[in-house]
Each structure stands twice: as structure tokens, then as C-alpha cells.
Structure 1
Amino acid sequence: MVGIAAWGAYAPRLRLSRKAVTEANAWVAPNLKAKGKGERSMANWDEDALTMAVEAARDALGPDDDRSHIASLYFASTTAPFADRLNAGIVSAALTLEKSITASDVTGSQRCGLTALGQALAAGGTALVAVGERRKARAVSAQELDFGDGAAAFVISDGPGAAEFLGRGSVTDDFVDHFRGDDGGFDYYWEERWIRDEGIVKLVPPAIRKALEVSGLSASDVDHFCFPSTFSGMAATVAKSVGIKPEAVRDNLAALMGEAGCAHGPIMLAHALEQAKAGEIILVAQFGQGAEALVFRATGEGTRPARGVTGSLADREVETNYLKFLTFNGLVDWEKGMRAEKDNKTALTTLYRNEDMILGLVGGRCRETGVIQFPRTRISVAPNNPAVDTQEPYKFAERRASILSYSADYLTFSMAPPNHYGMVVFEGGGRIMMDITDVSPGDVETGLPVRMVFRIKEVDEKRGFVRYFWKATPDRAAIAAQTAQAAE
């Protein structure tokens, strides 16, 4: 017996207004006006598929520093930052998982998120599956409005957990509905009717029927049917073709965040787990060079995430600046000024030797004095006791923190000016000078509660290398709690 013990999800805070996009492009594409309803999730400039997957995984794992129970890691994405570097290795380092784990990247189709989840369930043991997606779309395209950015994660363990795994069905067929070359550019799509009638309608139902057969269930037993598609009514059509009752078809969240590619099936599954009652059957399927279908029975047990899909969708800020969206996605060649003219070459030897500090935000704690510091050094910074080689690793990423001092700088280069940075102090000790992200002018003040997020620090455009580090962002849950307490 195997199942999902815990789950998590992440959607970027920024939500691009579709109306703002269609109005900006009305002069050239008035036909897109019909798509100008709702909003889509929009990654900040310092977010990508990997950083979002890390956030979803942290939501699933919880704040406990001890993650030694994770034996394997699967990272799934079609938009991973590196084509030849183990992206799962970066995720593992950010989460401070054990070096002894097995880790793999799963990619190649829009169903790879469910494929990774199916592989983890088949392998057994305690595993972490993290799925993230940030797809680019050409300006003034339907995909620009349909797409969204997001991530989901699941902890797999022996036993039923929150959702007992019942069965899996797969269909593999090189049906090319769209493709993206190895240049990492834009997707090229074929005709919609062909994709719908010859692809989805013919390839998805066999995978669903197989999964139900393996599970010993009939289609009428399904209480929650999750099927992402940018085609309106597609999930209902598939459900009808296999006999799933109409009321089981779940909202695909298109109006709230768009479709997050290979992460969207897992996101819909995570959303269903938040709402399913004990004993209810959840079926999730996704199309992509065939189809993947997984069946679960909710138990009402397991570990619920602190945020999940519901919390991530609620934590939102509407963005109406279409030019900002184009800039963040590298679709505008803009003048960055002389201050941006520097070589961002990364010293790979230094990165490796300090991996836990840079990617895991691991500092040091002196065994003799208890003084906590970042970075960790051979000599302790303890006043009057500069002890040597007495520091043990100390993890900062899940610690509560607040802003001691800060600056909002328009003189230094920033992708989202002004450049916010400051001194962050942690409960229990330790302080780090770091960037502050997901804020606007006026949001930051002394004493502001913050939490740590794993983000892009810089991009070496000359060599194609992405450098990651941790940043501070307002802890809005803590701020809301403070406000409520003050009101009482």
C-alpha cells in the first residue's frame, strides 16, 4: 500500500489581468477580446520553474528542518532552467535533503508531472515529487492569455496517508499537438480541432479506463475528475465519453491562474485533496504525447499544507502593467543602463564548496557559546570568544525573521526598481543582509515580519547560467495575525 502523505502548491503572487492584455493589444488583435476575462498567474522576474517547485515542496514538507526521511526526489518540468545539469540536484540542495538520496529530472511532455508522480508511487518508499512550470508565449498570442505559472509537490510514503493510490493508466503515442525546439523558445501549436478531436478525445479515455480497471472501479465511482485543458468544456467532454458524472468535473482554475503546463494536473490534484471527503475517489489525467491517469481514494488523514492551492490563490496582487509582464519574460529588449554592465560569471568552485550556504541558506552555530551566524566560518564571531572550528550547521530558511533596516535604491540596477534590500534578523539569533522581493515602494518598514524564499539572484546571459540564492519577502500570514491581535 502506498499513497500521498502530504502535498503542497505554489502560485506566484502576481496575477496579470487578462483585460489589461487584451486592451493593450486591441489595435492589432481585436479577436482576443473574448479572452479578456479573469487573470493568469505571473511569475516575478526572479522566479522560474525550479524556484516555484522549491516553494511547493516546502509547503508539502512543512517547517521541520529534519528532512532525512526523504529517500528520493523527482523534479518534473518542461521549462527547467538547465538542459544539461541535474535540476533536481538544485532543488535537493535548496531543501537541504540528504546527499544519499536518488534524484532525477522528468521532462518531455505536458504529462510529465503526473508521470513523475506515477513513477514515485510505483517505486515505493518515501519520495518527494516536485513539479514546476513557467512557459513563455509570444506576445499577442492566445497562449499568452491561456498560460499560467505554478507548481505542486507531493510526499509519497508507504501507507495510504492523505490519499491511497489505487491505480494508474498510461497511453504513449507520438501525437504532436505542439512542440518546442531545443533552443528553449516558444511552443509551436497545430490546429485546435485536430488536437481536440484526434488527440485528446481518442488518447485520454483509454488511459482513464485502464486506471479505473486497475483500481477495480467504474467511471461512476469517481467523485473528483481533474483534467487540465485550455479548450473550454474539454474536461466535461472527456468525462462524458468514459461515463464520469458531470458534477465530478472540477474547475480547472483557468479564470484564477490560467494553465500551468505539466504542473497543472498536479495542481488540480492538490486542490482536490484540500476539498475531498474521506472515501471519495479522485481521478487526475493529463494529455501529452499520449495520456496519464492516476486514481486515489481520499482518507481524510495525512498532513495538510499551510498554504496549498487555496492559500496560494488567495495571496494575490493584480498586475495591470502589461509591459512589466513582457519585460519579466524577456520579450522586450530594454535599455538597462551602465550600472547593469558587469560580468556575472559564477565561480563554480566557490559555489560547490559553499553549496549548503548558498543554496540551502545554512549558517553556523557555535557549540561553545551558542552564537549563530551567517556565513559559517572557522572562527566564531562570538564576542570575547573567537573559538576555532566549533561551528555546526544551522538552517535559516524556515526561521521566522523581520526587517531591522532597509533601503529602496533607484541607483543600483534592478529588474523591478527600486532595489529593496536590508538587514534581516532571525528569531533565535543570526542576521543576514539580503534582497527583499515581492514588494512595491512603501511596503517595507522596520520590524516587518518576513519569510525566506528561494529565488534567482542573477542570470549570466553570456554563458546561460542561472545563479540562485535566498531572499526575504513579507510574511503576510504573520502580518495578518499581528493586525488581528492588535484589533483585539
Structure 2
Amino acid sequence: MVGITSYGICIPPYRLARDEIAQAWKIKSLGGERAVARYDEDSLTMAVGAALGCLKNGLKQVDGLFFASTTSPYKEKQTAAIIAASLDLPRETRTADFTDSLRSGTIALSSAIDAVKSGSSRNIIVAASDCRMGAGRSQFEQLFGDGAVALAIGDSDVIADIEGNYSLFGELLEAWRLEGSPFVQSWEERFIVTEGYMKTMQTILSGVMEKYRVTPKEFAKVVVYGPDVKSHANLAKRLGFDLRTQVQDPLFESLGNMGTAALPMMLVAALCEARPNDRILVANYADGGDAFILKITENIGKVQEKMKKRLEKKICINYERYLTWRDLVPLEEPKRPDIRPPSVSCLWRERKSVLALYGNRCRECGTVQYPPQRVCANCQTKDRFEDYKLSDKHGKIFTYAIDYLTSSKEAPALIGVVDFEGGGRIMCEIAECEPSEINIGMPVEMCFKKLGEGGGVLNYFWKARPVS
């Protein structure tokens, strides 16, 4: 049996009401709100957050990590390798990037299924993440949302058995983004929905049901990608699915269209409510289509969590803040010295302490130190240390500063000293927290974030955030 063994999601807590966007441009609002990644987040950091959730759900052994996105931070460098290093996975882990199509997530999923079935891998994490932008005043600007999902594919402790899959390709220039362009473009909506989405999805869904001899009524849930609310509903009606009881909410109103993560996010929402022996029909669309038939097992209760809890944490932002985070408006630079670009050789030497957040612990007295030291600050023993991982530890704010003179993209910046449970202390930025919320003793957890860019090099490190 090969199927999904665990899952994790990363939803930025920041929400931008579509009414805010519509008011700025004096256009019609689509209603609801969209999830927005902060300036220190991108598709890589969100993928790390989702994969960490996947590991916390009980996944023990990982020998493969596939990353899927249309907004990978590097055009020529493997993002999956950075994610694997941040997760502290073994060096033998197979890594791969799947890019340039909104179907990349399900293409990566199919590849993971094939690898596990062949016996070349036992457990593969597929992390789909996107942070797309639509041009100002466009429908895409309101419709898009940011987020990431990680699904673990394996052959033991399966929570959703993948009974079958079906794929086909299609060539139609409907939504695209050229090299160097930050915004997604598209052709005329009625044409691409009628000739592309509707026809392809009807073919793929009819094809998978015919191949495995099942009918629409046999599915407890139908998880189908849609470019917008109207097209999604029309497709479900044409194929005979009950919109009220069978069709999974596309999450447009609360999160937005998350690109490669859109369908996996809907699937996780369905898994959160699924019961043993339920059948779920899953279908994705972009440059063709992929369809899967899943059957829920008795193991679902071991990893099930309610997605509503993740949606409850919200920090509302205005449109000006969104424009600032996306570098869409020029801002006056702070009167500070230029930040030196990171040293690639230094990052390589300290990759374990920087990417995986390892300190060390004294073998004599148990004192934990970060960054790793040669001499114990407590007992002065030299070179008697063992590696000690801090990224998975909770802590509390010992003290903090609210910095209004920061060189960060947004002021004030929150800088805190965190004392970890079990020992160890680190000074770092506090993320996903407003200045009015921070306090001494506040419980925090670590999260992987982007510090900035210098000399063409992206710099990533860990920050603390309030425990969700």
C-alpha cells in the first residue's frame, strides 16, 4: 500500500481584505480576504514550515524531498537542497525541484508515488509552495494567496491509500510569466476557461472514473482545482457532484488561490474532516491535468488536525503594507551603513548552525551554547561538546527591544533574547508578532525566515514567533 502518511501546512497569519485592494483602485471587490506572506517569507521558507509540520505529525524516516513551485527564489540553484539542510535531513536524501507549472505539485506527487512503488525510496516529502503576484488593479491581485503544503508519501502507516491515478497534458497559453517579470499574465478569461479548464478537467475526471470503474456518488469528497469560484462550481455541477456535501471548499474566500499549493491545501482540508473508508477524488489542472483516487485508512486519526484552528490566527494588514512587503513602491532607505553581503564560504562552514540551528552541549556539565563554542562558559571544559539541535525547541522571551532605527523593510523591528527549554539562549528577530503583543515570558517557537539579500545572495536564518 502506497499513499499519504503525513501532512503539514504553512499559512501566513497576515490577511489582506479584498475590499482594501478594490478601494485603492476604485474597482469591484471579489469579497473575502487573501493570505499574504511577510517580507521575510518566500516559497522556500513556507515550504520549510510546511515540511516541519509534516515531520511533527509522526514521520520518522525521510529519504526524499521534492519541492514544487512557480516562484522558486533561485533561478539556477536547487531549492530542495536548502530545504533539506534546514530540516536536518540525511545527506543521502534524494532532492529535486519541480517548477514552472501550477501542476508541479501533483507532478511531484506522481513522481514520489512511482519512486516508493518501485522501492527506490521509502518516504518522500513533497512540499508545494507559492508566492505569486498579480499586477495592480488586476483580478489576480485579489485572487492570489500565499502558502505551502507538505505531503509525505510512503508505504507504511498510510493514512490515505492512493488507489489509482491518471494524467494527461494539454497545450494552451492561458496563464504565464516571462523571465524577469514579477506578474502573472493571462489570456481572455472566457476562452481559457471554456477551451482549457472545463474541457480538460471534464476529460481527466471522466477518464479516471472510467479507468477505475467508479461513479461520482462513490466519493465522500471531491477535491478539484479551480481558477476561480464560478468556474470551480460550474465544473462540479456538470460532472454530477453535489456542491453542498461532496465538493471541497476551494478556500478562495479565506486564503486565495495558492498556485501549486492550492490543490494540496484543499486536500489537507478534506483529510482533516475525513473518516476511515471514505473515498476522495482529487484533480489538478494546468498544462493538462492529474487525477488521483484516495481511500482513507484507520490511521487517519493519528495525524488529523482541524484546519480551522490554523485559520483562526489572523493579523489584518492594509494595502500600503502589502505594497511595501512586495517592493512595489520605492521607499526612502534608512540612514544606515550598507549591509555587507553574506560570505558564501562562511555560510558553507557554518551551514549546520545557520540552516539547521545546531548549538552544542557540554558533555561535562550539560550547558547548551549557541553559536557552538570550543570552551564551556560554565565549567571551562575545552572541546568536550556534542551537537544540540535548537530549531525544534520551544522557549520564552527573556528580554526584547523594539527597534525603530532598523535597516529592516518595516519598522519597528522586534529583537528578542530567547531562553530555550532544556537550556540554551539565542538573540534573534521576533516574527509574526505585533509590537503591542510582545511581552517578557511569552512562549515562542523557531521558524525559518529570509533575512534579506546582498550581493545577489539570499540569506536565510531562524527567527522566533509566538507559539501558535
Q: The TM-score by the shorter chain falls in which range?
A: over 0.9
Residue 351 of structure 2 corresponds to residue 355 of structure 1: yes
Q: Does the Cα contact within 8 Å between 2:367 and 2:378 map onto a contact in 1?
A: no
Q: Does the Cα contact within 8 Å between 1:139 and 1:331 map onto a contact in 2?
A: no
1:123-142 equivalences in 2 (<5 Å): 123-124=115-116, 125-142=122-139
Q: Does the Cα contact within 8 Å between 2:7 and 2:57 map onto a contact in 1?
A: no
**Residue-by-residue CA offset, 1:29-50 (whole Å, 9 max, x unaligned):** x3xx242x21100111101111
1:315 is aligned, of 306, 313, 316, to 313
The 1:215/1:159 distance shift into structure 2, 3 A limit, reads farther
Residue 486 of structure 1 corresponds to none
Alpha-carbon distance in 1 for matches of 2:259, 2:13: 18
Residue 198 of structure 2 corresponds to residue 204 of structure 1: no
**Residue-by-residue CA offset, 1:238-273 (whole Å, 9 max, x unaligned):** 234434344311111111011101100000001100
The 1:384/1:362 distance shift into structure 2, 3 A limit, reads closer
Residue 119 of structure 2 corresponds to none
The 1:215/1:119 distance shift into structure 2, 3 A limit, reads farther
Shift of 1:217: 2.4
Residue 114 of structure 2 corresponds to residue 117 of structure 1: no
Alpha-carbon distance in 2 for matches of 1:84, 1:307: 37
Q: Count how many residue pairs are aligned between Structure 1 and Structure 2.
A: 462
The 1:307/1:395 distance shift into structure 2, 3 A limit, reads farther
Alpha-carbon distance in 1 for matches of 2:86, 2:99: 20
Tell me the amino acid that sits aligned with residue 279 of structure 2. I
Q: Does the Cα contact within 8 Å between 1:3 and 1:121 map onto a contact in 2?
A: yes
Residue 288 of structure 2 corresponds to residue 290 of structure 1: yes
1:230 is aligned, of 227, 250, 267, to 227
Alpha-carbon distance in 1 for matches of 2:210, 2:263: 21
2:80 is aligned, of 75, 88, 92, to 88
1:173 is aligned, of 170, 173, 197, to 170
Residue 393 of structure 2 corresponds to residue 399 of structure 1: yes
Residue 44 of structure 1 corresponds to 38
**Residue-by-residue CA offset, 1:321-372 (whole Å, 9 max, x unaligned):** 2100011011111112222x51442211111111111111111112232211
Residue 162 of structure 1 corresponds to 159
Q: Does the Cα contact within 8 Å between 1:12 and 1:312 map onto a contact in 2?
A: no
Residue 480 of structure 1 corresponds to none
> Identity percentage over the alignment?
33
Q: Does the Cα contact within 8 Å between 1:9 and 1:307 map onto a contact in 2?
A: no
Runs of 5+ in structure 2 lacking a partner?
Answer: 117-121
SS in 1 for 2:253: helix
Residue 382 of structure 2 corresponds to 387
Shift of 1:152: 0.6
1:53-452 equivalences in 2 (<5 Å): 53-62=47-56, 69-124=61-116, 125-159=122-156, 161-246=158-243, 247-302=245-300, 309-319=307-317, 321-339=318-336, 341-377=337-373, 379-388=374-383, 390-452=384-446
Alpha-carbon distance in 1 for matches of 2:304, 2:207: 34
Shift of 1:308: 6.3
Alpha-carbon distance in 2 for matches of 1:184, 1:306: 39
Q: Does the Cα contact within 8 Å between 2:8 and 2:57 map onto a contact in 1?
A: no
The 1:309/1:57 distance shift into structure 2, 3 A limit, reads farther
Shift of 1:136: 1.5
1:24-35 equivalences in 2 (<5 Å): 24-26=24-26, 30=27, 33-35=28-30
Q: Does the Cα contact within 8 Å between 1:224 and 1:272 map onto a contact in 2?
A: yes
1:468 is aligned, of 449, 460, 463, to 460
**Residue-by-residue CA offset, 1:112-165 (whole Å, 9 max, x unaligned):** 111111211121121111111100121221111000001111111104611111
Alpha-carbon distance in 1 for matches of 2:321, 2:196: 35
Residue 483 of structure 1 corresponds to none
Alpha-carbon distance in 2 for matches of 1:473, 1:307: 21
Alpha-carbon distance in 1 for matches of 2:316, 2:289: 34
Shift of 1:74: 0.5
Tell me the amino acid that sits aligned with residue 134 of structure 2. A
Alpha-carbon distance in 2 for matches of 1:307, 1:453: 20
Q: Does the Cα contact within 8 Å between 2:162 and 2:295 map onto a contact in 1?
A: yes
Q: Does the Cα contact within 8 Å between 2:271 and 2:304 map onto a contact in 1?
A: no
Alpha-carbon distance in 2 for matches of 1:276, 1:147: 27
Q: Does the Cα contact within 8 Å between 2:275 and 2:300 map onto a contact in 1?
A: no
Q: Does the Cα contact within 8 Å between 2:449 and 2:461 map onto a contact in 1?
A: yes
Residue 479 of structure 1 corresponds to none
The two structures have a TM-score, normalised by structure 1, of: 0.91
Q: Does the Cα contact within 8 Å between 1:130 and 1:151 map onto a contact in 2?
A: yes
The farther-off stretch of 149-158 and 293-302 is 293-302
